[in-house]
Chains A and B, each alone.
Chain A
Amino acid sequence: MGAIQKVNEPAPLTEEMVLVTAAKAGDVGAFEELVRRYDRNVFRIAQHITQNREDAEDVVQDAFLKAYENLPQFQMQSKFYTWLVRIAVNEALMKLRRRRPERMVSLDEEVRTEEDSMPREIADWSPNPEQQYNQAELKDILGKTIQGLPPGFRTVFVLRDVEGLSTEETAEALNLSIPAVKSRLLRARLQLRERLNKYFKARKGGESTK
Protein backbone atom coordinates (compact mmCIF):
# COMPACT_ATOMS: atom_id res chain seq x y z
CA MET A 1 0.00 0.00 0.00
CA GLY A 2 1.19 3.54 -0.73
CA ALA A 3 1.80 6.32 1.73
CA ILE A 4 -1.10 7.03 4.03
CA GLN A 5 -1.85 10.63 4.67
CA LYS A 6 -1.54 11.49 8.32
CA VAL A 7 -4.49 13.77 8.71
CA ASN A 8 -4.01 14.48 12.40
CA GLU A 9 -0.37 15.40 12.24
CA PRO A 10 0.02 19.12 12.95
CA ALA A 11 1.62 21.14 10.18
CA PRO A 12 4.96 22.78 11.02
CA LEU A 13 4.62 26.33 12.29
CA THR A 14 5.44 28.83 9.58
CA GLU A 15 6.82 32.27 10.35
CA GLU A 16 3.45 33.67 9.39
CA MET A 17 1.65 31.40 11.85
CA VAL A 18 4.00 32.49 14.62
CA LEU A 19 3.12 36.13 13.89
CA VAL A 20 -0.60 35.38 13.70
CA THR A 21 -0.50 33.45 16.97
CA ALA A 22 1.31 36.34 18.67
CA ALA A 23 -1.15 38.86 17.21
CA LYS A 24 -4.08 36.74 18.42
CA ALA A 25 -2.53 36.84 21.89
CA GLY A 26 -2.55 40.65 21.77
CA ASP A 27 0.92 41.43 20.34
CA VAL A 28 0.20 44.54 18.24
CA GLY A 29 3.79 44.58 16.97
CA ALA A 30 3.29 41.13 15.44
CA PHE A 31 0.19 42.38 13.67
CA GLU A 32 2.14 45.38 12.38
CA GLU A 33 4.61 42.96 10.85
CA LEU A 34 1.72 41.24 9.05
CA VAL A 35 0.58 44.65 7.77
CA ARG A 36 4.10 45.33 6.46
CA ARG A 37 4.15 41.96 4.78
CA TYR A 38 0.89 42.28 2.89
CA ASP A 39 -0.08 45.96 2.58
CA ARG A 40 1.32 46.27 -0.96
CA ASN A 41 -0.59 43.19 -2.10
CA VAL A 42 -3.85 44.34 -0.54
CA PHE A 43 -3.48 47.79 -2.10
CA ARG A 44 -2.83 46.30 -5.56
CA ILE A 45 -5.81 43.95 -5.31
CA ALA A 46 -8.05 46.76 -4.02
CA GLN A 47 -7.05 49.13 -6.78
CA HIS A 48 -7.53 46.48 -9.45
CA ILE A 49 -11.06 45.83 -8.22
CA THR A 50 -12.20 49.36 -7.38
CA GLN A 51 -10.19 51.16 -10.09
CA ASN A 52 -10.10 54.10 -7.73
CA ARG A 53 -7.14 55.25 -5.65
CA GLU A 54 -9.09 56.67 -2.70
CA ASP A 55 -11.27 53.59 -2.48
CA ALA A 56 -8.17 51.39 -2.57
CA GLU A 57 -6.67 53.36 0.35
CA ASP A 58 -9.88 52.89 2.34
CA VAL A 59 -9.94 49.20 1.53
CA VAL A 60 -6.38 48.74 2.85
CA GLN A 61 -7.30 50.37 6.15
CA ASP A 62 -10.69 48.70 6.51
CA ALA A 63 -9.43 45.24 5.55
CA PHE A 64 -6.54 45.25 8.03
CA LEU A 65 -8.71 46.68 10.79
CA LYS A 66 -11.40 44.09 10.16
CA ALA A 67 -8.78 41.34 10.13
CA TYR A 68 -7.41 42.61 13.45
CA GLU A 69 -10.84 42.76 15.06
CA ASN A 70 -11.71 39.28 13.82
CA LEU A 71 -8.41 37.60 14.67
CA PRO A 72 -10.03 35.62 17.52
CA GLN A 73 -12.35 34.02 14.95
CA PHE A 74 -9.50 33.11 12.56
CA GLN A 75 -9.09 29.36 12.97
CA MET A 76 -5.67 29.09 11.24
CA GLN A 77 -6.97 26.33 8.99
CA SER A 78 -6.17 28.43 5.95
CA LYS A 79 -3.29 30.80 5.32
CA PHE A 80 -3.65 34.20 6.99
CA TYR A 81 -2.97 35.84 3.63
CA THR A 82 -5.82 33.96 1.89
CA TRP A 83 -8.16 34.96 4.74
CA LEU A 84 -6.99 38.58 4.50
CA VAL A 85 -7.49 38.61 0.73
CA ARG A 86 -11.03 37.37 1.21
CA ILE A 87 -11.75 40.27 3.58
CA ALA A 88 -10.09 42.78 1.22
CA VAL A 89 -11.99 41.53 -1.86
CA ASN A 90 -15.30 41.84 0.00
CA GLU A 91 -14.46 45.37 1.14
CA ALA A 92 -13.42 46.33 -2.39
CA LEU A 93 -16.59 44.92 -3.94
CA MET A 94 -18.65 46.85 -1.40
CA LYS A 95 -16.90 50.06 -2.44
CA LEU A 96 -17.59 49.28 -6.06
CA ARG A 97 -21.27 48.63 -5.36
CA ARG A 98 -21.56 51.95 -3.54
CA ARG A 99 -19.93 53.77 -6.42
CA ARG A 100 -21.95 52.03 -9.10
CA PRO A 101 -25.31 51.30 -7.50
CA GLU A 102 -26.96 51.09 -10.90
CA ARG A 103 -24.87 48.07 -11.84
CA MET A 104 -24.96 44.74 -10.17
CA VAL A 105 -21.48 43.91 -8.93
CA SER A 106 -20.98 40.32 -8.01
CA LEU A 107 -18.38 37.64 -8.39
CA ASP A 108 -21.12 35.23 -9.40
CA GLU A 109 -22.35 37.12 -12.39
CA GLU A 110 -21.78 35.51 -15.75
CA VAL A 111 -21.58 38.83 -17.51
CA ARG A 112 -20.63 37.64 -20.91
CA THR A 113 -21.22 34.54 -22.91
CA GLU A 114 -18.49 32.11 -23.82
CA GLU A 115 -18.45 33.55 -27.35
CA ASP A 116 -17.26 36.93 -26.05
CA SER A 117 -13.99 35.36 -25.00
CA MET A 118 -13.31 33.64 -28.29
CA PRO A 119 -10.29 35.15 -30.03
CA ARG A 120 -11.29 37.38 -32.92
CA GLU A 121 -8.02 38.86 -33.98
CA ILE A 122 -5.06 36.56 -34.34
CA ALA A 123 -1.90 38.54 -34.86
CA ASP A 124 1.54 37.79 -33.51
CA TRP A 125 3.21 40.33 -31.26
CA SER A 126 6.69 41.70 -31.63
CA PRO A 127 9.24 39.86 -29.44
CA ASN A 128 9.23 42.39 -26.58
CA PRO A 129 6.06 44.37 -27.19
CA GLU A 130 6.16 46.17 -23.84
CA GLN A 131 9.44 47.82 -24.86
CA GLN A 132 7.62 49.82 -27.54
CA TYR A 133 6.31 52.02 -24.75
CA ASN A 134 7.84 53.88 -21.84
CA GLN A 135 6.91 52.93 -18.27
CA ALA A 136 4.16 55.54 -17.95
CA GLU A 137 2.59 54.65 -21.31
CA LEU A 138 2.73 50.96 -20.50
CA LYS A 139 1.06 51.47 -17.12
CA ASP A 140 -1.64 53.51 -18.79
CA ILE A 141 -2.27 50.79 -21.40
CA LEU A 142 -2.35 47.99 -18.82
CA GLY A 143 -4.59 49.97 -16.46
CA LYS A 144 -7.08 50.92 -19.16
CA THR A 145 -7.13 47.41 -20.55
CA ILE A 146 -7.85 45.61 -17.29
CA GLN A 147 -10.40 48.24 -16.31
CA GLY A 148 -12.56 47.10 -19.23
CA LEU A 149 -12.98 43.60 -17.80
CA PRO A 150 -16.01 42.76 -15.64
CA PRO A 151 -15.06 42.94 -11.90
CA GLY A 152 -15.44 39.19 -11.42
CA PHE A 153 -12.97 38.47 -14.20
CA ARG A 154 -10.36 41.02 -13.21
CA THR A 155 -10.51 39.88 -9.58
CA VAL A 156 -9.74 36.28 -10.53
CA PHE A 157 -7.00 37.42 -12.92
CA VAL A 158 -5.29 39.65 -10.36
CA LEU A 159 -5.34 37.00 -7.63
CA ARG A 160 -4.10 34.17 -9.84
CA ASP A 161 -1.81 35.87 -12.33
CA VAL A 162 -0.61 39.02 -10.60
CA GLU A 163 -0.54 37.96 -6.94
CA GLY A 164 0.31 34.34 -7.68
CA LEU A 165 -2.34 32.64 -5.53
CA SER A 166 -3.03 29.05 -6.53
CA THR A 167 -6.34 28.10 -8.13
CA GLU A 168 -7.41 26.53 -4.81
CA GLU A 169 -6.44 29.61 -2.77
CA THR A 170 -8.24 31.87 -5.25
CA ALA A 171 -11.36 29.71 -5.01
CA GLU A 172 -11.17 29.86 -1.21
CA ALA A 173 -10.59 33.62 -1.12
CA LEU A 174 -13.48 34.31 -3.49
CA ASN A 175 -15.82 31.58 -2.27
CA LEU A 176 -16.02 30.17 -5.79
CA SER A 177 -15.69 26.61 -7.03
CA ILE A 178 -12.44 25.57 -8.73
CA PRO A 179 -14.15 25.14 -12.15
CA ALA A 180 -15.65 28.65 -11.75
CA VAL A 181 -12.18 30.09 -11.06
CA LYS A 182 -10.70 28.29 -14.06
CA SER A 183 -13.50 29.40 -16.37
CA ARG A 184 -13.21 33.06 -15.31
CA LEU A 185 -9.44 32.95 -15.52
CA LEU A 186 -9.48 31.62 -19.08
CA ARG A 187 -11.96 34.24 -20.17
CA ALA A 188 -10.09 37.04 -18.40
CA ARG A 189 -6.79 36.02 -19.98
CA LEU A 190 -8.29 35.73 -23.47
CA GLN A 191 -10.12 39.04 -23.21
CA LEU A 192 -7.01 40.85 -22.00
CA ARG A 193 -4.98 39.32 -24.80
CA GLU A 194 -7.55 40.43 -27.35
CA ARG A 195 -7.63 43.98 -25.97
CA LEU A 196 -3.82 44.24 -25.86
CA ASN A 197 -3.56 43.24 -29.52
CA LYS A 198 -4.06 46.75 -30.78
CA TYR A 199 -1.06 47.97 -28.79
CA PHE A 200 1.29 45.04 -29.11
CA LYS A 201 0.77 43.37 -32.45
CA ALA A 202 3.81 43.18 -34.67
CA ARG A 203 4.18 46.03 -37.09
CA LYS A 204 4.91 45.13 -40.66
CA GLY A 205 7.51 47.05 -42.62
CA GLY A 206 7.85 49.62 -39.84
CA GLU A 207 4.28 50.86 -40.34
CA SER A 208 1.92 51.48 -37.50
CA THR A 209 -0.87 48.92 -37.31
CA LYS A 210 -3.28 51.33 -35.66
Chain B
Amino acid sequence: MTCKDFLKELTDYLDDALDTRTRSELEEHLQWCHNCYVICNTTKKTIEIYRDSTLYELPDDLRGRLRSAIMTKCRAKKPSTSGA
Protein backbone atom coordinates (compact mmCIF):
# COMPACT_ATOMS: atom_id res chain seq x y z
CA MET B 1 0.00 0.00 0.00
CA THR B 2 1.34 3.43 -0.96
CA CYS B 3 0.80 6.68 0.95
CA LYS B 4 -1.57 7.80 -1.81
CA ASP B 5 -3.64 4.64 -1.37
CA PHE B 6 -3.66 5.25 2.36
CA LEU B 7 -4.97 8.80 1.94
CA LYS B 8 -7.73 7.60 -0.36
CA GLU B 9 -9.02 5.32 2.38
CA LEU B 10 -8.41 7.70 5.28
CA THR B 11 -11.99 8.94 5.58
CA ASP B 12 -13.45 5.43 5.66
CA TYR B 13 -10.72 4.38 8.10
CA LEU B 14 -11.51 7.20 10.50
CA ASP B 15 -15.23 6.48 10.17
CA ASP B 16 -14.65 2.78 10.83
CA ALA B 17 -16.30 1.95 7.52
CA LEU B 18 -13.71 -0.41 6.05
CA ASP B 19 -13.74 -4.15 5.60
CA THR B 20 -11.39 -6.07 7.87
CA ARG B 21 -8.84 -6.77 5.14
CA THR B 22 -8.42 -3.17 3.97
CA ARG B 23 -8.35 -2.02 7.56
CA SER B 24 -5.49 -4.35 8.45
CA GLU B 25 -3.59 -3.27 5.31
CA LEU B 26 -3.92 0.34 6.42
CA GLU B 27 -2.83 -0.49 9.93
CA GLU B 28 0.20 -2.30 8.61
CA HIS B 29 1.11 0.77 6.56
CA LEU B 30 0.75 2.91 9.69
CA GLN B 31 3.25 0.70 11.51
CA TRP B 32 6.14 1.83 9.34
CA CYS B 33 5.03 5.09 7.67
CA HIS B 34 5.51 7.89 10.16
CA ASN B 35 4.12 10.56 7.80
CA CYS B 36 0.81 8.76 7.33
CA TYR B 37 0.70 8.04 11.04
CA VAL B 38 1.00 11.78 11.76
CA ILE B 39 -1.55 12.72 9.09
CA CYS B 40 -3.99 10.15 10.44
CA ASN B 41 -3.59 11.32 14.03
CA THR B 42 -3.81 15.03 13.29
CA THR B 43 -6.81 14.58 10.98
CA LYS B 44 -8.57 12.64 13.72
CA LYS B 45 -7.71 15.41 16.16
CA THR B 46 -9.01 18.03 13.70
CA ILE B 47 -12.40 16.31 13.65
CA GLU B 48 -12.48 15.96 17.45
CA ILE B 49 -11.58 19.60 18.03
CA TYR B 50 -14.39 20.82 15.77
CA ARG B 51 -16.86 18.30 17.16
CA ASP B 52 -16.12 19.30 20.75
CA SER B 53 -15.94 23.03 20.11
CA THR B 54 -18.64 25.45 21.12
CA LEU B 55 -18.31 27.30 17.83
CA TYR B 56 -21.52 29.03 16.75
CA GLU B 57 -23.59 28.18 19.78
CA LEU B 58 -26.99 29.79 19.83
CA PRO B 59 -27.16 32.14 22.84
CA ASP B 60 -30.25 31.63 25.04
CA ASP B 61 -31.66 35.15 24.57
CA LEU B 62 -31.37 34.99 20.79
CA ARG B 63 -32.77 31.48 20.84
CA GLY B 64 -35.85 32.69 22.70
CA ARG B 65 -36.37 35.59 20.31
CA LEU B 66 -36.01 33.42 17.23
CA ARG B 67 -38.39 30.78 18.52
CA SER B 68 -40.96 33.36 19.45
CA ALA B 69 -40.74 34.95 15.98
CA ILE B 70 -41.02 31.55 14.28
CA MET B 71 -44.02 30.49 16.31
CA THR B 72 -45.84 33.81 15.82
CA LYS B 73 -45.52 33.37 12.05
CA CYS B 74 -46.54 29.71 12.23
CA ARG B 75 -49.66 30.51 14.23
CA ALA B 76 -50.56 33.14 11.65
CA LYS B 77 -50.53 30.58 8.87
CA LYS B 78 -51.68 27.03 9.16
CA PRO B 79 -49.90 24.53 6.91
CA SER B 80 -51.81 24.07 3.69
CA THR B 81 -51.96 21.20 1.23
CA SER B 82 -51.37 23.62 -1.62
CA GLY B 83 -47.74 24.10 -0.54
CA ALA B 84 -45.67 27.27 -0.12
Q: Footprint of B on A, CB under 8 Å?
A: 23-24, 26, 28, 31-32, 35-36, 39-40, 43-44, 47-48, 56-57, 60-61, 64-66, 68-73, 118-119, 122-125, 129-130, 135, 138-139, 142-143, 146, 157, 161-162, 164, 167, 182, 185-186, 189-190, 192-193, 196-197, 200
Contact = CB atoms under 8 A, between A and B. Distances in A.
Contacts of A24: 79
B53 A35 contact: no
25 contacts: A31-B74, A32-B67, A32-B74, A35-B70, A44-B58, A60-B66, A61-B66, A61-B69, A61-B73, A68-B79, A71-B79, A72-B79, A72-B80, A72-B81, A124-B41, A125-B45, A130-B49, A138-B53, A142-B53, A161-B51, A162-B50, A185-B11, A189-B11, A190-B43, A193-B43
A65 B50 CA distance: 29
A70 B71 CA distance: 15
Given A65-B74, A118-B7, A57 B66 contact: yes
B15 A40 contact: no
B38 to A, nearest CB: 5
Dominant SS at the A interface? helix
B78 to A, nearest CB: 6
A196 B41 CA distance: 13
A71 B66 CA distance: 20
A59 to B, nearest CB: 10
Given A70-B83, A119-B7, 19 more contacts: A28-B74, A32-B71, A35-B70, A48-B56, A57-B66, A61-B73, A68-B74, A68-B77, A69-B84, A123-B38, A124-B41, A125-B42, A129-B45, A139-B53, A186-B11, A189-B46, A190-B7, A190-B43, A193-B42
A146 B51 CA distance: 13
